Structure formats: C-alpha cells, structure tokens
Structure 1
Amino acid sequence: MLLESLYGVGVGLALGLTGGGGVLAVPALVLGLGYSLPEATPVALVAVGASALLGGLDGLRRGLVRYRAALLMAGGGALCAPLGLLLAQVLPVAVLMLLFCAVLLLIAARMVGQALARTVAQGASAVSCKSCRLDNTTGRFRWTPRCFLSLSFIGALSGLFSGLLGVGGGFLIVPGIRQVSDLGMHGIVATSLLVIALISAGTVAGFWWAGGSLPSAAWAFIAAAGGGMLGGRLLAPRVSARALQLGFALLAGLAALMLLGKALASLPPLS
C-alpha cells in the first residue's frame, strides 16, 4: 500500500499543478506498480476523475474556471469517449502504448516551445489571432462560431483519448486551450480539471455499467491521488505559468520515454 500511496500522491500533485498531470497515472501504474495497460486504464480513470473533481470544485470556488467552456468541452468529450473505449478493445496493447508515447512526446515538445518562445514583442499580434478571446469587462470568453468549434474539437479529442488510453484528456486540454485562447495558465489548469472530471465521470460510469471492478490495492492509489491534488492546488498560486508549462513538458517527456522503452522491450525479437 505504501508504493500505491506514494505514486498516487505524485500523480495527484502533478495533476493539481498542471491540469494535465493525470497523464502520468498510467505510466505510474504500469512502470511503478506492475499493472498491465488494460488493468491500469480503469484505475487511472477513477483516480484522475475523482482528483480532478476536487481540483475543479476548488477552481470554481476561486473563480478561475470558465464553466461554459468546460461544459462545452465535456459534452464533446462525452460523445467521443465511447469510441475511444471501443478502439481500446480492438487495438493491440503494444500499438496503444506506442500511440500514447507519440502523443506524449508531441505535447511535451509543444509545451516547451510555448514556454520558451519570445512573446514579449509579438504578444499583441499573437493574442489577436486567438479563436477565443476574453472580454476585458466581464472576464468571460467572447463566444463566436470559431471559438465554439475550437473548444468543441478540443473536448472531442480529449474524450477520444480518455476512452482509448485512460488518461483523462488533460494533456490535450491544457495545450489546446492555451493554443486557441488568451486565458491565463492558472485559469486553463482550473478549467481543464473540471473538464477532466466531467469526461472521466461518463467513462467511469460506462466501466462500472459493464461490470468492471478494481483491485483493493488500487483504492490506496486513488485516495492518495486525491490528497496530492489538494496539495497541488495549494501550491499552484505560488508557481509561475512558465514553470508549470516546463514542468508539465518534462514529466510528459520522461513518461513517454519510459513507456516507449517498456513497449519496445515487449515486442517479439526479430528472427
């Protein structure tokens, strides 16, 4: 139980700080605790979903969550999550792991590029190109067809990967919102957590409805992830947006490389 708790705290802490740290749940379960990918997926979904709910409620309390955007993305995610679950049953485990690694590396590279980009001189022009821009008087998004479609696509894609890989989708939601909007990083993280909670709820409900169950040791991981989430939300206001981006990218890149090594090691040798 000690290892489950330690890994759970780490995943919850990363999720609370970055909004996408739930992507580490599967690597922690597979690499650290010896789960297979099919065994790790439902545990990760429950742990990430429950922890994200705590973080989302905290974000609502602080006024950081853009709840209309969150509901829109969660709706798109809920529609596409069953397709992800179906694909997960059809595709070989090795293919899923390699796909997971590729997406992680892509997101990590993207986040590093955003964090290190020189945006001081180009800030005004960059903001003007965003699909979803905040109204300076209300602090809310100005809803346009372009903004609606952009956020819907982000939600749908995150739902697909949530069902396919059991990762909550935050690793797509965070860079996605940052790409299409001028919302600050702390607001992005809080909004992402609420979306993850809503998407995960539907996916987990489908898992239970199908008769799924979790091993008893998994509940220590799930409870510890919730505790880590609360700690992450307390620390988040003290961490700069740039540091959050770089930390997220580093964790995602390390997880991808470790999973890639495990996936390649499991392939049959060439004759």
Structure 2
Amino acid sequence: MDEHSILSIALGSVIGGILAMTGAGGGILAVPVLVFGLGLSMNQAAPVGLLAVALAASVGAVLGLKQGVVRYKAAAFISSIGIIAAPVGLHLAQRIPNKPLALVFSLVLVYASIRMLRNASREIRNGGATPRREVLPCVLNPVKGRLRWTLPCARVLALTGFTSGLLSGLLGVGGGFVIIPALSRYTNLEMKSIVATSLAVIALVSIGGVTAAAISGVMYWQAAIPFAAGAVIGLIAGRQLAHKLAVPRLQQAFSIVGIGAAIMLAVSVLGFHA
C-alpha cells in the first residue's frame, strides 16, 4: 500500500468519525479534506466524497435499523425525491468551472457551520434541546407510534429530499446538514431517531449520486476506494465514542473547523496570497 492510499484512509476515517459523532457534517467536510489533503479538484473530489459518505452512512443506517430507531417510510420518501434530484446536481457540477463551484461550496459550508454553531450554542445555553413549536407538520401517532402522513408533512419531507439530493450531486455532500435541521424543526422525533433516519436518507441519496458518477465516468477510483474504506472505519469507531462525548461541544468544534475550511478553500481558488 503506497503513501497516497494510507493518507486517503486516514483522511476518510476522520470524515467517518465526524459523521458518527455529529450526525451531520462529515459529508460536507469531505470535499475540503480531499482538495487540500489529496490535491483533487472540486470536480474530482465531489464524487469521491459522495462515495465515502454513502458507505459510511449505510453502515450507520443498518445499525440504526437494528436498534429500531430509523423511520424507514420517511427515509424512503425523502430519499426517493433526493435520488431524482442528485443526477441533476451532478450534471450541473460537471458543467460549472472549478472556481465558481468551489466558491458556491464555500458559501454552503459557511452557512451550514454557522447554523450548527448557533444551534449547539443555544442547546448548551438552555441546558438541553431547543423547545419545538406546538404545531408541527409531521408528528407521531401516539397510539401506533408512526408518523401521520398529511399533505403539509409530505410537502416538507419532499422539499427536504429535493434540496439534499441536489446538493449531494452538485457538491458531493451527504445532505445531513439539511436533513437533520429539517427533521428537528418539522417533526417531533427524538434526536437519536432523527440522526438514524438522516443517515438512511444520506445513504440512499448518495448511492444514487455515486451510481450516476460511476456511469458517467467521473469517479476517481484511485482515491475513492481507500478514502471510503477509511470513512467506514471512522464511523464504526466514532459510534463507540459518540455516547461518551458532549454532542453540542462536538458540533461547535465542527462548526469552527468548517468555517475555517470554507475560508481556506475560497482563498485558494481566488488565488489570494499573503
């Protein structure tokens, strides 16, 4: 095994660990890690990051299914919309020049990081999860323990799936930074169920994007296979540590790293020099 493969595995394990411990964020950090760590372009990094996220999230989703915390019908509905949108994003990504694509990614990363930072800080300040609105589009039936499928609920979940799928194909991200806030805001699911359901959606949508990338011949397999293997290893190891660590603090740390990575990526593509 050469040094490049070892580095790919190591970097992938970091992404998998972040995905396990925060429930989101690992996918969106994968692209900056690939760009700076392995020297890939945005067009090369996006499909590679997507493959890593797909495999790692699949492992997390299977473990969640065994625990009975995945809302599989909601996950299937969201991902069915996302799978349709992902190839559209991939098609756009291959036609947008590297510089503007990297700048768009930087803006999305800053937005996701700031949002997570604010939510984590609010949770720490309140001593727990932020109270939800009394009226929610998607709520569990207290008798059957299943989501009540109404038109507002279907509309919210469909929009979540479309947004996560489009960003998945366009930027090579899993979409957890879209799915988790949406499920937290519009459903009354417990956080462990939200995270597990998010991983299931990420896995299904990412697999759709990976398949499209493989068919179109834009997957950089030399980096993709070891990086994805590392992500799976990192996710399994991260799950062992997640329950021992304070998630809001981890999310704060991720947010700071994410903002820094976004700034570095923007500076590098714009060609600024000290």
TM-score between the two structures when normalised by the length of structure 1: 0.89
State the distance in 1 between where 2:43 and 2:142 align: 46
Name the counterpart of 1:115.
120
Q: Does 1:30 align with 2:35?
A: yes
Match of 2:174 among 158, 168, 188: 168
Q: How does 1:158-237 map to 2 (within 5 A)?
A: 158-237=164-243
Report the secondary structure of 1:128's partner residue.
coil
State the distance in 1 between where 2:201 and 2:187 align: 16
Cα deviation for residue 213 of structure 1 reads 4.4
State the distance in 2 between where 1:147 and 1:243 align: 31
Cα deviation for residue 34 of structure 1 reads 0.8
- Provide structure 1 residue ranges, at least 5 long, that are not aligned to the other structure: none
Match of 1:96 among 95, 101, 105: 101
State the distance in 1 between where 2:55 and 2:177 align: 17
State the distance in 2 between where 1:8 and 1:122 align: 30
CA contact (8 A) 2:21 2:247 kept: no
- CA gap 1:132/1:239 in 2 versus in 1, 3 angstroms: farther
Report the secondary structure of 2:243's partner residue.
helix
Report the secondary structure of 1:29's partner residue.
helix
Amino acid at match of 1:181: T
Name the counterpart of 1:13.
17
Cα deviation for residue 231 of structure 1 reads 1.2
State the distance in 1 between where 2:91 and 2:265 align: 22
Cα deviation for residue 18 of structure 1 reads 1.9
Match of 1:76 among 75, 81, 84: 81
Report the secondary structure of 2:19's partner residue.
helix
CA contact (8 A) 1:127 1:182 kept: no
Name the counterpart of 1:53.
58
Q: Does 1:41 align with 2:54?
A: no
Amino acid at match of 1:79: I
- CA gap 1:186/1:256 in 2 versus in 1, 3 angstroms: farther
Name the counterpart of 2:258.
252
Q: CA RMSD in A?
A: 2.4
Report the secondary structure of 2:63's partner residue.
helix
Amino acid at match of 1:230: I
Amino acid at match of 2:7: L
Residue identity over aligned pairs, in percent, reads 42
CA contact (8 A) 1:178 1:185 kept: yes
Match of 1:85 among 90, 95, 102: 90
CA contact (8 A) 1:107 1:175 kept: no
Name the counterpart of 2:68.
63
Amino acid at match of 1:223: A
Equivalent pairs counted in the alignment come to 266
> Which stretch shifts more, 251-260 or 54-63?
251-260
Q: Does 1:129 align with 2:135?
A: yes
State the distance in 2 between where 1:251 and 1:135 align: 39
Q: Does 1:151 align with 2:157?
A: yes
> Which stretch shifts more, 132-141 or 227-236?
132-141
Cα deviation for residue 233 of structure 1 reads 2.1
- CA gap 1:156/1:250 in 2 versus in 1, 3 angstroms: same
- Provide structure 2 residue ranges, at least 5 long, that are not aligned to the other structure: none
- CA gap 1:221/1:129 in 2 versus in 1, 3 angstroms: same
1:139-168 alpha-carbon deviations (Å, 9 max, x no partner): 432222111111110110000011101112
CA contact (8 A) 2:48 2:219 kept: no
State the distance in 2 between where 1:204 and 1:19 align: 21
